[in-house]
Amino acid sequence: MAKQLARHDIDDTLYVFLQDNSKKWYARFQLFGKWHCKSTKQVDKEEAVAAARLLRMEWKIKAETGTLTKSKRFRDVAAKSILAMEHELAHGGGKVSYKDYMGL
């Protein structure tokens, strides 16, 4: 398991840290009571801090608009796509091929 070499707290719900197995900084932030960890893809600490703030803002916007992808498993992506297609068909939109995609 990787060890944390350095840590820089930005605020109570956001910090960046450096691990011994990477030269790039990681951001760890809390949204709606749950902690998330993402790579900032930055080697410089100051650039990593700016990238971490941007990452947190992007994730917050995606969570509020319902576009945050929590899983990349095929089953989860397919279920989300089927819900979206059913919603469009129920409201008079969509394509005829949606029924084929959903297996109806």
pTM score of the predicted model: 0.71
Kindly report the number of other CB atoms within 10 A of residue 54's CB atom. 12
Q: What is the pLDDT of residues 42-87, one digit of tens each?
A: 999 999 999 999 999 999 999 898 788 777 899 988 888 898 899 8
Q: How far is CA 36 from CA 16, 26, 79, 99, in A?
A: 12, 10, 23, 36
- Nearest one of 60, 65, 104 to 86, comparing CA atoms: 104
Domain range summary for the chain, segments of one domain joined by +: 4-65, 69-104
Residue 27's pLDDT is 97
Q: Which of residues 58 and 102 earns the better pLDDT score?
A: 58
Q: Can you tell me the distance from the alpha carbon of 85 to that of 87, in angstroms, rounded to the nearest whole number?
A: 5
Q: What is the pLDDT of residues 10-36, one digit of tens each?
A: 999 999 999 999 999 999 999 999 999
pLDDT over threshold 90, residue 98: no
> Which CATH architecture is the domain 4-65 placed in?
2-Layer Sandwich (3.30)
Q: Which residue has the tokens 């899983």?
A: 71
